[in-house]
Amino acid sequence: MTITHTLPKGFLYGFATASAQIEGGGEESEKESGRGDSIWDAFCDQQGKIRDGSHVKKTCNHLEMFKEDIALMRSVGANAYRFSLSWPRIVPLGGKDDPVNQKGIDFYNNVIDECLKNGLTPFITLYHWDLPLELFKRYGGWLDKDKIVEDYTNYAELCFRAFGDRVKHWLTFNEPWCTAVLGHGFGQFAPGHKSNTEPWIVGHSQIVAHATAAKLYINKYKSEQGGTIGITLNGDWTEPFDDSPENIEAAQRKMDFAVGWFADPIYLGHYPESMVKALGDRLPKFTESDLKLLKGSSEFYGCNTYTTNTIKATRTDDEFAGYTTMDFDRPDGSLIGPESQLGWLRDVPWGFRKLLVYLYQRYKMPIYMTESGWAIKDESSLTVEEASTLLKIYLDDQGRIQYYKGYLQALKEAVEIDGVDVRSYFGFLDNFEWASGLIPRFGSVYVDYETFERTPKDSARSLMKFFKQNVPN
Between helix 198-216 and helix 176-184 the angle, nearest 10°, is 150
Q: Distance between CA 199 and CA 227 in Å, rounded?
A: 31
Q: Are 126 and 84 in contact (CB under 8 A)?
A: yes
Is 224 marked active-site?
A: no
Residue 38: helix, strand or coil by DSSP? Answer: strand
Q: Is the Cβ–Cβ distance between 211 and 229 less than 8 Å? A: no
Question: From CA 298, how far away is CA 247, in angstroms rounded?
Answer: 32
Contact 436, 379 (CB under 8 A): no
Catalytic residue among 239, 371, 379, 413: 371
Q: Which residues contact 312 (CB under 8 A, 6 or more apart)?
A: 241, 247, 250, 324, 325, 327
Annotated active-site residue 175? The verdict is yes
CB–CB of 187/193 below 8 Å? yes
Beta bridge partners of 426: 14
Phi first, then psi, for residue 240 (nearest 5°) are: -55, 140
CA dihedral 303, 304, 309, 315 (to 10 degrees): -80
CA distances from 276 to 143, 200, 284 (A): 20, 11, 9
Q: Of 23, 114, 175, 413, which is the active-site residue?
A: 175
Could you tell me which residues are beta bridge partners of residue 231? Answer: 301
Number of H helices, E strands in the chain: 19, 13
E strand spans, 328-408: 367-371
Q: What is the C-alpha to C-alpha distance for residues 194 and 180, in angstroms, rounded to an integer?
A: 10
Beta carbons of 342 and 440 less than 8 angstroms apart = yes
In one-letter notation, the amino acid at residue 95 is G
Closest CA to 320 of 400, 373, 260, 384: 260
Beta bridge partners of 167: none
Point out the residues that are catalytic: 175, 371
